[in-house]
């Protein structure tokens, strides 16, 4: 029951566009330009695994 609710919530978040403040600061565009993200799912939650991978990639490791 809880898992289904989480899946629905994540699907809703994944469909949302980036927030106004992030768009104005060009956060996603800048992150995409340096290869930190592919730009998809700007409003989705991030797992620890994804954070770890992005930090290591940013560090060049």
* Mean pLDDT, residues 5-10: 87
Q: Is the pLDDT of residue 41 over 80?
A: yes
| Residue 13, both tokens | 């978040």
* Mean pLDDT, residues 46-53: 91
Q: Is the pLDDT of residue 1 over 70?
A: no
Question: Which pLDDT score, from 0 to 100, does residue 52 have?
Answer: 93
Q: Is the pLDDT of residue 49 over 80?
A: yes
CA distance 20 to 50: 24
Q: How many CB atoms lie within 10 A of CB 51?
A: 10
């Amino acid at each position: 029951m809880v898992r289904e609710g989480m899946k629905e919530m994540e699907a809703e978040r994944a469909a949302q566009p980036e927030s106004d403040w992030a768009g104005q600061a060009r956060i996603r565009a800048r992150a995409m330009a340096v290869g930190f993200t592919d730009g998809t799912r700007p409003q989705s939650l991030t797992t620890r695994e994804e954070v770890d991978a992005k930090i290591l990639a940013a560090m060049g490791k």
